[in-house]
Structure formats: C-alpha cells, structure tokens
Amino acid sequence: MAEAPLFVSHDEFTCSVCLDTLTDPVAIPCGHSFCLKCLMDCWDQSQECSCPQCRHTFMLRPELNRNTLLNEVIKKLKKTTLSPPPPQNYAGPGDVECDFCTGKKFRAVKSCLTCMASYCQTHLQPHYEGEALKHHKLVDPDRNLKEKLCEKHQKSLEIFCKTDDSCICMMCVVTGHKNHEMVEMETEREEKQVSDV
C-alpha cells in the first residue's frame, strides 16, 4: 500500500525563540518545543522558568530531554521540503528589531508600552493569546522605547505634570508631584494638537 504524502509547513518546526528550524528540540511540560540552546539561554537570563511562548511558569526547572523523534523528522524534512523563512521578514537598516529574536533579528511589527519591548509577529503572539498580556498597550514599532521610561523609577511615562511641564511615571505622582496639576499624556497630546491648529 502506497504512503500518503505528508504536507507540513516550515512554521510547524520553528523555534519561537530564534525563529529558525528547531535544533536539538526539547519539549517542556506545557507542550511547546524549542531548541535546547534557545531555551537554556532564556532560562539562564531570567530569574524564573517560564515558557517563552505561553508564559506558563514552572515552580522547579523542568528536566530537559531531547525529543529524538521530532529531531529525526526535522532532519528528514530538511533534506526535502523545509526552506528558511522569507528574507523580507528580517530587520533591515531603519527597521525596529524584535527584542526577543536571537541570531538574525526579525522586523518588529508592534512595540509594547507595558513590557517596553518590540516584537516580531511570532514573539507578539502571547500578547494576543495570554490572559496576562492581552491588556498591554501595543503601538506601532518604536525604536525610542527607552525615552518613554522614567529615568528615576524605570517605569512607563504615563502622566503629564502641568505644574512642572514634564512627563512622569505613576511612582513620580506619588513621590514628588503631590498636589500638582496632572493629566494623562494622551489628554495633553490632544490638547496640544488642538491648540496648534
């Protein structure tokens, strides 16, 4: 009996950290697979062990074992069907790079003002799927995110202090601007746009 052809896409065998074909694939208890090196690098740089894709947090660092079956499937498919992702997704001069890509960086499609990071399409997915991230404020890619942070508290600048004519974070509101006249930055921006017309 003849075997039916197997149709797969490159995305099914891509590590969501490096956005390349899985190398030494390992699966973690939430079911997601990553390159062993990518996952180890993520966990070594963080104080907690969480899934880079769904953000599920593990109390203890899970033991990682290579998924030999998946590794063999990828090896066979590399020989026949898999091709690298199209080059137009990579960040070029003037593009905002994804802060979570390792190796060659993909172009960011959104920046998050809550996380203060920029994301390519793949790394942005948890912001659409995860309950904890759904309410974050996403904007068009912005290369100047650090300028939107309070130098003193490293928090997002959300308030405009009319008394001091400056942008401040919520910690500044409590610590140094009591009884000052303040508005949300959006409100101040709208007022200035109206007065400039």
For 138-161, how does the pLDDT look when each residue is reduced to its tens digit (9 = 90+)? 888 988 887 888 888 888 888 899
Instruction: Report the CATH number that the domain containing residue 76 is assigned in CATH.
Output: 3.30.40.10
Record the pTM.
Answer: 0.47
In this structure, the answer to whether residues 76 and 119 fall within a common structural domain is: no
Of the candidates 99, 103, 142, the one whose C-alpha atom is nearest the C-alpha of residue 122 is: 99
Instruction: Report the CATH number that the domain containing residue 119 is assigned in CATH.
Output: 4.10.640
In this structure, the answer to whether residues 114 and 134 fall within a common structural domain is: yes
Task: Tell which wins on pLDDT, 78 or 103.
Answer: 103
In this structure, the answer to whether residues 14 and 81 fall within a common structural domain is: yes
Residue 133 belongs to domain spanning: 86-143
Sheet containing strand 182-184, edge to edge, reads: 166-168, 159-161, 182-184
Residue 52 lies in a domain: yes
Q: Is the pLDDT of residue 163 over 80?
A: yes
In this structure, the answer to whether residues 110 and 66 fall within a common structural domain is: no
Q: Is the dihedral of CA 121, 127, 128, 129 positive or negative?
A: positive
pLDDT tens sequence across 22-66: 889 998 988 888 999 998 888 888 888 888 888 888 888 888 888
In this structure, the answer to whether residues 18 and 75 fall within a common structural domain is: yes
Q: Is the pLDDT of residue 4 over 70?
A: no
| Structural domain total, the chain | 3
Residue 109: the pLDDT is: 92
Residue 1 lies in a domain: no
Instruction: Report the CATH number that the domain containing residue 183 is assigned in CATH.
Output: 3.30.160.60
In this structure, the answer to whether residues 28 and 56 fall within a common structural domain is: yes
- In which band, very low, low, confident or very high, does the pLDDT at 82 lie, cut at 50, 70 and 90? very low
Task: Tell which wins on pLDDT, 74 or 183.
Answer: 183
- C-alpha distance across the termini of the chain, in Å: 76
In this structure, the answer to whether residues 80 and 16 fall within a common structural domain is: yes
In this structure, the answer to whether residues 135 and 164 fall within a common structural domain is: no
Torsion of CA 10, 13, 18, 20, to 10 degrees: -40
pLDDT tens sequence across 85-124: 555 588 888 889 999 888 888 999 999 888 888 999 889 9
- In which band, very low, low, confident or very high, does the pLDDT at 75 lie, cut at 50, 70 and 90? confident
